[in-house]
A and B are shown apart, each in its own frame.
Chain A
Amino acid sequence: MSTIQSSRKNLGFSLVEILVVLGIAVLIGLIATKLLIDMFSVNRSVSASLSQTGEGRRAIKTMTAELRTASPSSVGAYALEQTGTSSLIFYSDIDSDSEKERIRYFLQSGVLMRGVINATGSPLVYNVANEMRTELVHAVKNSTTTPLFSYYNETYAGTSTPLVEPFNISVVRLVKIYIVADTSSSASSTPDIYTTQVNLRNLKDNL
Chain B
Amino acid sequence: MHTYKTKGYVLILVLVCASIGVVLLGGLVRWGITDVIATQRMSDREQAIQIAEAGIDYYRWHLAHAPLDFMDGTATSGPYVHSFRDKDGNIIGDFSLQIVPPPLGSTVVIVTSTGRTLEGVQRSLRVQFAKPSIAKYAVVANSMMRFGAGTEVFGPIHSNQGLRFDGVAHNLVTSGVATYDDPDHSGVNEYGVHTHDFPTDPLPPTAVPSRADVFEIGRTFPVPSIDFGGITSNLSQLKSNAQASGFYRPGSGSLGYHVVLKTNDTFDLYRVTSMTNAPGGCNNSAGQSGWGTWSVQNQVLLGNYAFPSNGILFFEDHVFVNGQINSARLNIVSAVLPDNAATRKNIIINNDVLYTKYDGTDTIGLIAQGNVLAGMVSENDLRIDAALIAQNGLVGRLYYESDCSPYDDRSTLTLWGMIATNLRYGFAYTDNTGYATRNINYDGNLLYSPPPGFPLTGDQYVTVFWEEI
Residues of A within 8 A of B (CB): 28, 32, 35-36, 39, 42-43, 46-47, 50, 53-54, 57, 61, 65, 68-69, 71-78, 80-81, 93, 98-100, 122-124, 166-171, 201-202, 204-205, 207
Contact = CB atoms under 8 A, between A and B. Distances in A.
Contact of B21 (A39, A71, A207): A39
Interface residues of B, number: 51
Contacts of A69: 466-468
Nearest to A75: B154
Given A32-B13, A57-B39, A204-B463, 10 more contacts: A47-B28, A50-B35, A69-B468, A72-B447, A73-B444, A98-B360, A166-B210, A167-B210, A170-B217, A202-B465
Given A93-B467, A166-B210, A170-B217, A50 B170 contact: no
Given A69-B467, A201-B463, A74 B32 contact: no
B458 to A, nearest CB: 11
Nearest to A165: B210
Contacts of B442: 75-76
Contact of B154 (A42, A73, A169): A73
B44 to A, nearest CB: 13
B217 A39 contact: no
A81 B154 contact: no
B104 interface: no
A8 B136 CA distance: 108
B287 to A, nearest CB: 36
Contact of A76 (B42, B154, B216, B464): B154
Interface in B194-220: 210, 212, 216-220
Nearest to B461: A207
A19 to B, nearest CB: 16
B417 to A, nearest CB: 11
Contacts of B464: 202
B218 A202 contact: no
B69 interface: no
Contacts of B154: 73, 75-77
Given A76-B138, A123-B416, A50 B218 contact: no
Contacts of A28: 10
Contact of A46 (B28, B61, B439, B462): B28
Contacts of A168: 210, 217-220
Interface in B54-84: 57, 60-61, 64
Contacts of B462: 205
B443 interface: yes
21 contacts: A28-B10, A36-B17, A53-B35, A57-B38, A57-B42, A61-B42, A73-B154, A76-B442, A77-B170, A77-B216, A100-B444, A123-B439, A166-B210, A167-B210, A169-B217, A170-B172, A201-B127, A201-B463, A202-B464, A202-B466, A207-B61
